[in-house]
């Protein structure tokens, strides 16, 4: 695991998710291996037939000197055409946003990004979610005391 976007689950309802590859520079990969990535403000954007990761902050790699990368440059995401057509069709619906949930290295050592199609939660939805979690916690506590 490189980076996790924890706040995304609090602010959005995840509808669908997909695993994407990324086109990265060498200094970006080295920085990712050091865990220097932030997904807090990142989002996905569809431009033509391609999917882009915008505003993802991958810190500069100090040893790269002249060949370093820009920290917040747009990065192209790689997915199959069939998945792209299905995903873009859903993404163009009103009120849906593309958000990166997490970034990780797979078993072969390739950097991957899990993008999700999300719908923003309203304040009352967040409150309902908290009430349900509290009620569930109270029920678990009562069951533990009884047994």
Q: What is the pLDDT of residue 9?
A: 80
User: Count H helices, E strands: the chain?
Assistant: 4, 9
With beta carbons less than 8 A apart as the criterion, state whether 26 and 50 touch: no
* Beta pairing partners, 20: 113
> Looking at per-residue confidence, does 90 or 34 come out higher?
34
- Residue 117 neighbours by CB under 8 Å, 6+ apart: 14, 15, 16, 17, 87, 90, 91, 96, 97, 98
- Domains plus CATH for the chain? 3-121 (2.40.280.10)
Mean residue pLDDT across the chain = 87
d(CA 39, CA 62): 20
Read off the pLDDT band of 123 (50, 70, 90).
confident
Read off the pLDDT band of 93 (50, 70, 90).
confident
């Amino acid at each position: 695991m490189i980076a996790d976007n924890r706040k995304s689950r609090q602010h959005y309802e995840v509808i669908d998710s997909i695993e994407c590859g990324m086109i990265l520079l060498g200094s970006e990969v080295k920085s990712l291996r050091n865990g220097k990535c932030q997904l807090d403000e990142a989002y996905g954007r569809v431009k033509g037939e391609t999917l882009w990761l915008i505003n993802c902050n991958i810190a500069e790699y100090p040893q790269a000197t002249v060949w370093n990368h820009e920290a917040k440059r747009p990065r192209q995401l790689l997915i199959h055409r069939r998945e792209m057509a299905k995903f873009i069709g859903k993404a163009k619906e009103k009120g849906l946003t593309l958000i990166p949930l997490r970034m990780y290295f797979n078993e072969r050592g390739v950097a991957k990004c899990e993008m999700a199609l999300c719908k923003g939660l309203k304040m009352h939805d967040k409150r309902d979610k908290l009430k349900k979690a509290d009620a569930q916690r109270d029920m678990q506590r009562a069951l533990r005391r009884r047994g």
